[in-house]
Amino acid sequence: MSLISCDKVTKIYKMAEVQIRALSDIKLEIFSSQFVSFVGPSGSGKTTMLNLFGCLDKPTSGDIRVMDTDIVKLNYVERAKFRGEHLGFIFQNFNLIPVLTVYENVEYPLVMVKSLPREEREKKVLSLLDEVEMLDQKDKMINQISGGQKQRAAIARALTTDPKIVLADEPTANLDHDSAYKVIHLMKKLSRKIGTTFIFSTHDPKIVKEIDIIYTLEDGVLVNRQEKK
């Protein structure tokens, strides 16, 4: 069964004078444990696509099913609940909380969403920090660590609630090449190891080589799907 399926998905942004067709007639299927990226130049529809998967916006027309839920039909409250239960997010500018330590940032979603006993919470946070090679940085404040380290902490944070899908819009855009590479490798490793599907966007050709499944967007049209064997 597919984790995400889209059929005839179109998104038109309607503004006062003009209509912008951000996505046209998108059809695709994404499965469990896949490492997927949307590539294409600025304005090609990558962010719009990820926002639809993330239940942050609705298509103008078409069907989107995520984990067998028809997300187009969900109301505002149901969408928020769905996000909290099934999805994780990683952002271009990290979105970590500066007044908290690395450890506290990773722990934060667990404190907010699930009422886990303290010891289990601690075990989980430490094991995720270990996975992203950030255990030795756990007591640092966010302004004391590098961009690459911030993004690795953000990956751990996205995984604390055991989401089936992690969405990342241009997660390496603010990183130097080596850090970007490390972040991509880490996501790829985790997609295999813990079975989470990572879906992200990039326009960095150096990174594209590392991706298993590449969807190319041009002016809102899915022009190519390439899968590495």
* In the complex, least distance from residue 172 CB atom to Mg ion, rounded to whole angstroms: 13
Q: Which does 44 bind (CB under 5 to 8 A by kind): ligand ADP, Mg ion, none?
A: ligand ADP
Q: Given the complex with ligand ADP, which of 59 and 109 has the nearer CB atom?
A: 59
47 binds Mg ion (CB under 5 A): yes
202 binds Mg ion (CB under 5 A): no
Q: What b/e readout covers 31-65, taking b as 16+ CB neighbours within 10 angstroms? A: eebbbbbbbbeeebbbbbbbbbbbbbebbeebebb
Query: Dihedral, CA atoms, 29, 31, 37, 38, nearest 10 degrees?
Result: 20
Size of the site for Mg ion (CB under 5 A): 2
- Per the listing, tokens 């103008």 go with 60
Q: What b/e readout covers 188-207, taking b as 16+ CB neighbours within 10 angstroms? A: eebbeeeebbbbbbbebeeb
Q: Given the complex with ligand ADP, which of 50 and 145 has the nearer CB atom?
A: 50
Alpha-carbon distance of 67 to 31, in angstroms, equals 10
* In the complex, least distance from residue 171 CB atom to ligand ADP, rounded to whole angstroms: 13
48 binds ligand ADP (CB under 6 A): yes
Using the rule CB under 6 A, give the single segment among 42-50, 59-67, 158-166, 186-194 that binds ligand ADP: 42-50
Using the rule CB under 5 A, give the single segment among 24-32, 46-54, 145-153, 160-168 that binds Mg ion: 46-54
Q: Given the complex with Mg ion, which of 34 and 47 has the nearer CB atom?
A: 47
Alpha-carbon distance of 151 to 183, in angstroms, equals 7
151 binds ligand ADP (CB under 6 A): no
Interaction site with ligand ADP (CB under 6 A) = 13, 15, 20, 22, 40, 42-48
Interaction site with Mg ion (CB under 5 A) = 46-47
